[in-house]
Amino acid sequence: MSTRSSLGTWGAVVLTAALAVAAPAAFADVRVAGTVSDDNGTAQFTCFGTPTCSGTISVIINHHGCSNSFSFSADLTVTGFDLSHPGSPSGTVTISAQQSGTINNPDGTCTYQMGGGATWPYTATWDGTSGTITIVPTDGSGPKTGTFSASGVAAAPVFPMTVSGSVTPAAADVDATIQPRPQDVGTTGSIFVFAHAPSNLVIGGKRAAVGKSGIGGPKDDAIVCVLAQVSSSGQLVAVSASTMQAYLTGVLSAQSQAVTILNNVPTTNVAGATMYVGYGSSAASMISGGVYQAAITIPGAVQCTASLASAPAPESPGALTGLWWNSGESGWGVHFTQRRNLIFAAWYTYDGSGNPKWYVASDCAMPAGSTGVTGTCNGTLYEVGGPAFFGASFDPSLVHVAAAGTLQVAFQDANNASMSYTVAGQTRTVAITRQPLAAGSVPPAVDYSDLWWNPSESGWGLAMAQQYGVIFLAWYVYDASGKPVWYVASDCVVSGSSCSGTLYRTTGPPFGPTFDSTQIKVFEAGSVLVSFIDANNAVLSYTVDGVSATKTITRQVF
């Protein structure tokens, strides 16, 4: 066994100096997303604000000579990141921890070691839409280069707002001055101050895990982002749109209104939270109407940086959406995405040789006008082939679709159904139920359960089923010969605005009239990280069999 030093990588921000707050609200909503890489790994980052950008970074490391990879998420601060006009920003990237070395094990794997923090210089270019960035670690490990894009830079604020104050390691004092939109002047409404905050800091925001069978095991330390407000004692308390308390209520005037966001609140009580100000006739109408905006994000170990500015989806998935299975046949499953009376079914199972294979019913239709949880959907099952996914650019022109059979699902309620299919010469009816993943008392502010894809790479996709702090991710792609193959991250554990977990590949019993779970074999295939930019958009970072890459993904709306 030998050891060697490694390239400096990435870590978490430690707030060691006062963070001045004096930016217009338009810049508080600036969201930057990008990717940097070197020969030993890839890092995807998302941060908010300009010229100081605070957020998170997610890293996948795979050193040459190591058969295994290493991944983690952390926070960062970028200074001098002026995106208010095209130019060449420069400044520093501050991290508090970095991957400092590796130990080569006899079996070919490596033990990755973490070290202390660092501040590194960077240079960048910005044309107003996208940019490039080069970070130069001072440890001599070589530059890390990449690209980034930003949104919200030129967007007009929802309503005029200025933010001022300071955040030190000890206390946070932040105020805002807002002015209602002209169309709202003279109406009666309430102003609300609220947070998108890590559940471990929120009274009433904790969750409890429940056991489940299948691939992987439950986690009990997930930290989801929940809605909260700061109490008079300086503590975050969980709220919902129906329980949120107004800062003040009255007739909205054309004059500016001063609002206290944080009044000498211990910084540790709100670390990682994004604070919002908004108004409306009620908190529910404020949120549904989007009449609110971010004022400040407080750096923390777990960051709630996913913007709430987007509604959960143009058409939110219906109540039947989620992962379904037969608990006596662990090893296969089907993910339903419901919109209106249409169900998109993504079914992961096995072929006649026991190799992983998937089918989709992209238009399993319930009776016209049906939007409830009872009824029967009928559709065609399709088998899809396409280009090799890993290690190459995805060419959607190589995707080919063929009808493979029929699917019928009779839903008794939101948690129980009967699935009937005819495919590959087999006809079967099997009872299915919603698969339990996790439990809790306070739901996350955004539920990411849905079908996700990259619109420019039609032909592959991800089905995400979220329950509180766990996302079950089923990933439908193609192997080297173009055959459909699937991977799952059965415990993609949520931490703030991202989830990460181990990717598994399985083999099972040959496709037939019965299913024998004892033939399931599970293999670790790599790792996955999903960093949510907002309610509808994310960045997928993965390593599969030593191949690492990132993809932008969004909800697939149909």
DSSP for 172-197 reads EEEEEEE---GGGTTSEEEEEEEEEE
pLDDT higher than 80, residue 85? no
Higher pLDDT residue, 219 or 337?
A: 337
**How far apart (Å, rounded) are the C-alpha atoms in residues 59 and 11?**
9
397-445 confidence digits (pLDDT tens): 999 999 999 999 999 999 999 999 999 989 999 999 999 988 777 778 8
- Confidence band of 157 (pLDDT split at 50, 70, 90): confident
Q: What sign for the dihedral angle of Cα 532, 536, 537, 538?
A: positive
- Choose among 243, 169, 173: nearest CA to 204: 243
Q: How far apart are CA 208 and CA 219, in angstroms?
A: 9
Which residues does residue 135 pair with via DSSP β-bridges, in sequence order? 122, 144
Taking CA atoms, 83 is separated from 45, 130, 149, 156, in Å, by 16, 10, 10, 15
- Scanning 277-319, the segments in alpha helix (DSSP H) are 283-289
- High-pLDDT (> 70) share of the chain, %: 90
Residue of 355, 351, 239, 312 lying closest to 464 (CA atoms): 312
Residue among 438, 432, 433, 475 at smallest CA distance from 453: 475
Cβ neighbours around 259 below 10 Å, total = 20
Average pLDDT, the chain: 85
Sequence-distant (6+) residues with CB within 8 A of 539 are 33, 35, 44, 46, 530, 531, 533, 550, 551, 552, 553
Task: Place 309 in a pLDDT band, splitting at 50, 70 and 90.
Answer: low
Max avg pLDDT among 61-70, 246-255, 314-323: 246-255
Most confident of 196-205, 308-317, 392-401, 415-424: 415-424
> What confidence tier does 221 reach under pLDDT thresholds 50, 70, 90?
low
Range from 3-12, 58-67, 499-508 carrying the lowest mean pLDDT:
3-12
User: Which of 105, 115, 148 lies closest to 9, judged by CA?
Assistant: 115
Q: For the chain, what is the radius of gyration of the CA atoms?
A: 24
CB distance 164 to 173 below 8 Å? no
Q: Please report which confidence band the pLDDT of residue 114 belongs to, taking 50, 70 and 90 as the band edges.
A: confident
pLDDT at 154 exceeding the cut of 80: no
Q: What is the pLDDT, as a whole number, of residue 55?
A: 75
- CA–CA dist 461, 473 (Å, integer): 10
Q: Say if residue 78's pLDDT is above 60.
A: yes
Q: Distance between CA atoms of 201 and 496, rounded to whole angstroms? A: 11
Q: What is the mean pLDDT of residues 466-481?
A: 94
CA dist 193 to 240, 241, 356, Å?
13, 12, 49
Of 302-311, 397-406, 537-546, the range with the lowest mean pLDDT is 302-311
- Please state the separation of Cα 447 from the chain's center in Å: 10
Q: Smallest Cα–Cα separation from 256: which of 155, 152, 175?
A: 175
Please state the rounded mean pLDDT for residues 129-138: 85
Q: Is the pLDDT of residue 17 over 60?
A: no
Backbone angles phi, psi at 145, to 5 degrees: -120, 155
pTM beyond 0.85: the answer is: no
Q: What's the average model confidence in pLDDT over 492-498?
A: 88
SS3 72: strand
Q: What is the pLDDT of residues 239-294, one digit of tens each?
A: 988 999 999 999 999 999 999 999 999 999 999 999 999 999 999 899 888 899 88
From first CA to last CA, the distance across the chain in angstroms is: 54
Contact (CB, 8 A) for 102 and 108: no
User: Between these two residues, 425 and 25, which has the higher pLDDT value?
Assistant: 425
Whole-angstrom distance, CA of residue 45 vs CA of residue 95:
12
Q: Which of 28-37, 46-55, 310-319, 354-363 has the lowest mean pLDDT?
A: 310-319
